[in-house]
Amino acid sequence: MSRLMLGKTLERICKAVLLLCLVHFLIMMIFYLDVYTQRFDIFSRFNTRNYSKMHQYFNISKPNGTSLTFLGGEDHFVSSRKLENNLTVTKKPLPMCPDVPQGLVGRLLIEFNSLMTMEKVQRENPDVREGGKYKPSDCIAKQRVAIIIPFRHREHHLKFWLHYLHPILRRQKINYGIYIINQHGEGMFNRAKLLNIGYMEVLKDAEYDCFVFSDVDLIPMDDRNLYHCYDQPRHFAIAMDKFGFRITLKGMKVSRPDSKIGKYRMIKHERDKHNEPNPQRFTKIQNTKVTMKQDGINSLKYKLVNVAKYPMYTNITVDIGTPPPRPSRG
């Protein structure tokens, strides 16, 4: 009798355990199906391409160039739970920057009386990378622009130049690097040679497909004067024409911005020592057609002294040697 009782009890326990297992299995199945077929789109697990087509999505772009894509199902209202479930972090390709950048302000107030420090410039431009490099975070710029500045003993001007130009270039959505080509020693200043050297040296640092030459004391008075390349070499400072002849002889046009937006403010200064006007400058210009074939990039001789990357610019110091003596007049 008691054996029979024990047997029955054991049977009941076994059945109960079996039932429990079944219930557990069923709950697991329901949970599994609920999560994977209803809340997630089951097709997404097999076909990720269709996934984005089937959903409306919106982006929140982040300054580092990646964008967060929130997938928002068929309904317009997206509950936070659904967002949590469907949140994916994707690297979406950025669009190309528009030809006419949004957010330009036009005429600018330029003054050189305030106290300017490199620390202030740095504080104002936290997203400029080491060496004075920047690229827009929300679009891909069509060109990489090297901005080349001939330089010696003009630290005061440089601070103002960086203070004004970094924000302008950022608004213009330019992918750029700032290069100061610093002439070593106290020999005669040779701006043209520094520009040629700058062209050679910046290409060692990064790939550029556009070169803009600027004086350190010239600030554009309007941010619609874009610092990038056009089909033809462009003459930025149209009010400061002292440079265009080389280019015209090569059969290229110098394009000019609208006279209203092409205005520059120049920092007033005394003439520097060792930068006296070359008495032969007019004869030299007349002979350019002959001399330009031997003179320039092809025959560039100089010594690289130092390359230093500062937060707001790259400094390239070069020894350009001494120029051949000027023949005495008469």
Residue 210, C-beta contacts closer than 8 angstroms, at least 6 positions apart: 143, 144, 145, 146, 228, 229
Task: Return the residue of 186, 258, 272, 276 that touches ligand UDP, per CB under 6 A.
Answer: 272
Phi and psi for 248 in degrees, rounded to 5? -65, -35
Instruction: Rule CB under 6 A: say whether 241 interacts with ligand UDP.
Output: no
Q: What tokens were used for 105?
A: 């302000």
Least distance CB 166 / ligand UDP (angstroms): 17
The number of residues that bind ligand UDP (CB under 6 A) is: 13
Instruction: Rule CB under 5 A: say whether 41 interacts with Mn ion.
Output: no
Instruction: Rule CB under 5 A: say whether 158 interacts with Mn ion.
Output: no
Instruction: Rule CB under 6 A: say whether 309 interacts with ligand UDP.
Output: no
Which of the residues 204 through 263 are near Mn ion (CB under 5 A)? 217
Q: Rounded to whole angstroms, how far apart are CA atoms 315 and 202? A: 10
Task: Single out the segment in contact with ligand UDP by CB under 6 A; choices: 13-21, 39-47, 209-217, 283-291.
Answer: 209-217
Find tokens 């213009």 and name the residue. 172
Least distance CB 71 / ligand UDP (angstroms): 52
User: Of these partners, Mn ion, ligand UDP, none, which one is at the site of residue 213 (CB under 5 to 8 Å by kind)?
Assistant: none
- Assign 177 to helix, strand or coil: strand
Instruction: Rule CB under 6 A: say whether 150 interacts with ligand UDP.
Output: yes
- Burial string for 222-236 (b: 16+ CB within 10 Å, else e) reads bbbbbbbbeeebbbb
Q: Rounded to whole angstroms, how far apart are CA atoms 328 and 142? A: 50
Q: Nearer Cβ to ligand UDP, position 135 or 163? A: 163
Instruction: Rule CB under 5 A: say whether 151 interacts with Mn ion.
Output: no
Three-state helix/strand/coil letters over 24-66: HHHHHHHHHHHHHHHHCCHHHHCCHHHHHHHCCEEEEECCCCC
Instruction: Rule CB under 6 A: say whether 275 interacts with ligand UDP.
Output: yes
Task: Single out the segment in contact with ligand UDP by CB under 6 A; choices: 65-73, 80-88, 143-151, 281-289.
Answer: 143-151
Report strand pairing: 210-213 vs 264-266: unpaired
Q: Nearer Cβ to Mn ion, position 217 or 223? A: 217
Cα-Cα end-to-end distance for the chain:
143
Least distance CB 173 / ligand UDP (angstroms): 25
Q: Nearer Cβ to ligand UDP, position 180 or 210? A: 180
Which residues of the shown chain bind ligand UDP in the complex (CB under 6 A)?
A: 149-154, 189, 191, 215-217, 272, 275
* Chain residues in the site for Mn ion (CB under 5 A): 217
